[in-house]
């Protein structure tokens, strides 16, 4: 555990303290204001993110889901073309 969570002592459990340490370690782009609220260091823009990290990975999951849908549509089109010929 880092120095950040030592203020909690033995309270809250080991995993929570590790998450707090990870969230509060120096990030080059964002500063954690509160759980899920992040402030960009250069622009001052405040954004919503994960409780312990600024990026929740939702963007990557959405891209993957959309790509899967496109691939499924392409497969259906290919099946139709093969069936017609």
- 80 in helix, strand or coil? helix
pLDDT confidence of residue 2: 56
- Vertex 25: Cα angle to 27 and 43 (nearest 5): 30
Q: How many whole angstroms separate alpha carbon 54 and alpha carbon 29?
A: 9
The whole model's pTM is what? 0.48
Beta carbons within 8 Å of 42's beta carbon, 6+ residues apart: 29
The 10s digit of each residue's pLDDT in 44-73 is 999 888 887 888 888 788 888 778 877 777
| pLDDT at 46 (0 to 100) | 92
In angstroms, how far is the first alpha carbon of the chain from the final one? 65
Question: Mind listing the pLDDT tens digit for each residue in 14-25?
Answer: 888 888 887 777
């Amino acid at each position: 555990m880092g120095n950040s969570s030592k203020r909690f002592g033995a309270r809250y459990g080991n995993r929570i303290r590790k998450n707090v340490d990870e969230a509060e370690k120096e990030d080059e782009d964002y500063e954690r204001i509160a759980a899920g609220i992040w402030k960009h260091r250069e622009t001052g823009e405040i954004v919503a993110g994960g409780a312990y990290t600024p990026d929740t990975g939702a963007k990557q999951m959405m891209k993957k889901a959309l790509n899967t849908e496109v691939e499924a549509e392409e497969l259906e089109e290919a099946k139709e073309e093969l069936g017609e010929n």
